[in-house]
């Protein structure tokens, strides 16, 4: 959508515990117009607009009392309709079948595969749609692989919202080359469109006393692939911040350079659309019982511009104290403008944005429900 | 053949547009299948892919609660689908 001068607008699709919202900016990204809520009362886990076909927008949703589903727009978000067949595991009569609690992560496939999408679910499953999200089927043999079934764990091993398959990454040079993250269960790589996977854990730490060679003990929170260098991955993990250059095949804990009083625990990680050295994280208090709030109630984004050798605190405009919220793994996003906009939504329902790569923050909206995901889309 | 009256709870009325509809089926499973034919998508919100009623769905046949999909039904029966709403 372009204004009368031909400048682009930025959209923020916001998924919350009580529905989805859309915020649309002017070309300067100074003022924002709110639309929604869409499907008020539904738990919206993720909302994404297809960069290959902006007419398509998917909302992964459920309610506390009904089964999971997905809603789809084919007109850029003006109207939505429930999809024909949401992700579901195969029916088994022997009691071994699993049940999708909710779709957690949405990802359009390769640019040369229009209409193809992937979805990650809780409990962990990888699903694929070949019709722009209208119908879904199981995409991977890992669903029935004995090792993966063990690594998936159970409700006792997963997050408070269940075990999740997330961070579905597609190599822009090869549609068959994918990565996924499993919480818990580790980072995994596929060379056959997700049919099979292998763990990619070398260099990752686990909680003390456990075997780092066992994927069960790994908990990647969010993995991202550099848009300008698909061979470079960054990861916010339960045990720190990491970077991997795929040719080396080993994760390096770049979070050790974070200030000790803040630490390197958190959920989201966001990468620059313009270089492979710049990343943003949102640290949280991961001490003792994991309060999952900003350290000392003082929220801040941390940014590196040199691949993790140094981290810069970015808190100008953010509350200076008594702010007891944090940011979930899908609730932070970058736009693609030359001067990168960074956005995050909080567990207390505030939507924050920066038009200058995190140097200064301003509040876009408050009093929203708990925010689960924020996705920027420039059109 | 007269149908079976089915009471629809408010969270599912976006599918039916009505508080009560009529459906066919010799048992509860067949009835849910017929409801899905009439109102696509409604069945999966109530019944998971392992053919289990979802956690907060309750079904009453002529006022008696049942958990069995093979519960026999007769024309003229009344089936009430109830949402056990809880907080959150």
**Cβ contacts (< 8 Å) between B47 and chain A: which residues?**
67
**Closest-CA residue in chain A for B12?**
A66
Smallest Cβ–Cβ distance between A99 and the set B41, B46, B48 belongs to B48
pLDDT value at position A8? 82
Q: Does A63 touch chain B (CB under 8 A)?
A: yes
pLDDT value at position A161? 83
The model's pLDDT over A174-194, given as tens digits with 9 standing for 90+, comes to 999 999 999 999 999 999 999
Backbone φ and ψ for B37, nearest 5 degrees, come out as: -65, -40
Mean pLDDT computed over A12-28: 97
pLDDT value at position A339? 96
Mean pLDDT computed over A151-170: 87
**Closest-CA residue in chain B for A97?**
B50
Q: Which of B49, B52, B57 to mutate to test the interface with A (most CBs of A within 10 A)?
A: B49
pLDDT value at position A171? 98
Residue A46, pLDDT > 80, answer yes
Of A230, A260, A258, the C-alpha closest to A242 is A258
Cα separation, A272 vs A258, in Å, equals: 19
pLDDT value at position A310? 98
B86: pLDDT confidence band, cut at 50, 70 and 90? low
The model's pLDDT over A285-313, given as tens digits with 9 standing for 90+, comes to 988 888 999 999 999 999 999 999 999 99
Chain B: residues touching A (Cβ < 8 Å): 11-12, 40-41, 44-52, 54-57, 83-86, 88
Counted across chains A and B, CB pairs separated by less than 8 A come out at 52
Q: Model's pTM, two decimal places?
A: 0.96
Contact A47, A373 (CB under 8 A): yes
Distance from CA of A40 to the nearest CA of B (A): 12
The model's pLDDT over A238-278, given as tens digits with 9 standing for 90+, comes to 999 999 999 999 999 999 999 999 999 999 999 999 999 99
pLDDT value at position A186? 97
Q: Which of A64, A67, A102 to mutate to test the interface with B (most CBs of B within 10 A)?
A: A67
Tokens 């200058």, residue?
A356
Contact B44 A63 (CB under 8 A): no
Mean pLDDT computed over A335-344: 97
Q: Does A92 touch chain B (CB under 8 A)?
A: yes
Residue A33, pLDDT > 70, answer yes
pLDDT value at position B2? 78
Smallest Cβ–Cβ distance between A99 and the set B12, B50, B86 belongs to B50
A95: pLDDT confidence band, cut at 50, 70 and 90? confident
Name the residue ranges covered by the structural domains of chain A: 226-378
**Cβ contacts (< 8 Å) between A100 and chain B: which residues?**
48-49
User: Residue A105's beta-bridge partner residues?
Assistant: A120
- Round the average pLDDT of chain A to a whole number and report it: 95
Cα separation, A181 vs A167, in Å, equals: 5
Radius of gyration of chain A (CA): 19
**Cβ contacts (< 8 Å) between A66 and chain B: which residues?**
11-12, 45-46, 54, 56, 83
CATH homologous superfamily of domain A226-378? YVTN repeat-like/Quinoprotein amine dehydrogenase (2.130.10.10)
Smallest Cβ–Cβ distance between A91 and the set B51, B84, B85 belongs to B51
Q: Is B29 helix (H, G, I), strand (E, B) or coil?
A: helix
B80: pLDDT confidence band, cut at 50, 70 and 90? very high
DSSP of A277-344? S-EEEEE---STT---S-GGG---EEEESSTTS--EEE-TTS-SS-------TBSEEE--SSS--EEE
Greater pLDDT, A24 or B85: A24
**Closest-CA residue in chain B for A67?**
B45
Q: Which of B36, B47, B48 to mutate to test the interface with A (most CBs of A within 10 A)?
A: B48
Sign for the CA dihedral angle at A33, A9, A272, A170 comes to positive
pLDDT value at position A71? 98
pLDDT value at position A5? 53
User: Residue B7's beta-bridge partner residues?
Assistant: B20, B80
A67: pLDDT confidence band, cut at 50, 70 and 90? very high
B21: pLDDT confidence band, cut at 50, 70 and 90? very high
Contact B11 A65 (CB under 8 A): yes
**Closest-CA residue in chain A for B88?**
A64
A21: pLDDT confidence band, cut at 50, 70 and 90? very high
Helix, strand, coil % over all residues of chain A, rounded to 5: 5, 40, 55
Q: Where are the alpha helices (DSSP H) in A98-244?
A: 146-152
pLDDT value at position B1? 53
Mean pLDDT computed over B33-42: 98
B31: pLDDT confidence band, cut at 50, 70 and 90? very high
A6: pLDDT confidence band, cut at 50, 70 and 90? low
**What value of ipTM does the predicted structure carry?**
0.92
Contacts of residue A323, defined as CB under 8 A and 6 or more positions apart, other chains included, come to A294, A297, A298, A299
Q: Per this entry, what is the length of chain B?
A: 88
**Cβ contacts (< 8 Å) between B51 and chain A: which residues?**
91
Lowest mean pLDDT among A14-23, A163-172, A281-290: A281-290
Contact A67 B86 (CB under 8 A): no
């Amino acid at each position: 959508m372009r204004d009368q001068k031909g400048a682009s607008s930025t959209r923020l699709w916001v998924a919350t515990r009580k529905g989805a919202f859309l915020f649309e900016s002017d070309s300067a990204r100074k003022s924002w117009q709110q639309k929604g809520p869409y499907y008020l009362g539904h738990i919206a886990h993720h909302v994404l607009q297809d960069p290959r076909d902006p007419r398509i927008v998917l909302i992964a949703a459920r309610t506390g009392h009904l089964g999971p589903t997905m809603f789809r727009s084919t007109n850029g978000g003006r109207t939505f309709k429930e999809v024909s067949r949401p992700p579901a595991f195969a029916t088994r009569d022997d009691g071994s079948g699993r049940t999708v609690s909710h779709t957690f992560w949405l990802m359009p496939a390769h640019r040369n595969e229009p209409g193809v999408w992937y979805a990650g679910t809780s409990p962990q499953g990888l699903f694929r749609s070949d019709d722009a999200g209208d119908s879904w089927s199981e995409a991977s043999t890992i669903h029935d692989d004995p090792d993966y079934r063990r690594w998936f764990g159970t409700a006792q091993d997963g997050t408070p919202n269940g075990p999740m398959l997330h961070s579905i990454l597609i190599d822009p040079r090869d549609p068959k080359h994918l990565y996924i993250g499993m919480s818990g269960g580790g980072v995994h790589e596929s060379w056959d469109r997700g049919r099979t996977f292998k763990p990619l854990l070398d260099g990752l730490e686990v909680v003390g006393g456990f075997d780092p060679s066992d994927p069960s003990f790994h908990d990647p929170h969010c993995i991202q692939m550099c848009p300008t260098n698909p061979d470079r991955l960054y990861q916010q993990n339960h045990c720190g911040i990491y970077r991997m250059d795929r040719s080396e095949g080993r994760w390096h804990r770049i979070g050790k350079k974070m200030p000790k009083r803040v630490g390197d625990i958190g959920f989201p990680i966001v990468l620059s659309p313009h270089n492979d050295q710049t990343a943003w994280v949102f640290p949280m208090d991961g001490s003792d019982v994991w309060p999952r709030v900003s350290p000392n109630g003082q929220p801040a984004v941390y940014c590196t511009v040199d691949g993790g050798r140094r981290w810069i605190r970015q808190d100008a405009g953010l509350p200076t104290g008594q702010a007891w919220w944090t940011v979930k793994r899908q609730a932070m996003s970058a736009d693609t403008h030359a001067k990168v906009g960074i956005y995050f939504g909080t567990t207390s329902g505030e939507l924050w944005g920066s038009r200058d790569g995190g140097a200064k923050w301003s509040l876009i909206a408050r009093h929203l429900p708990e925010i689960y995901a924020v996705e920027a889309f420039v059109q | 053949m007269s149908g079976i009256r089915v009471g629809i709870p408010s969270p599912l009325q976006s599918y039916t547009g009505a508080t009560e509809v009529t459906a066919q089926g010799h048992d509860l499973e067949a009835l849910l299948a017929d409801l899905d034919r009439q109102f696509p998508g409604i069945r999966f919100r109530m019944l998971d892919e392992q053919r289990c009623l979802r956690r907060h769905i309750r079904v009453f046949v002529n006022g008696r609660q049942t958990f069995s999909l093979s519960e026999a039904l007769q024309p003229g029966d009344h089936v009430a689908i109830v949402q056990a709403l809880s907080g959150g």
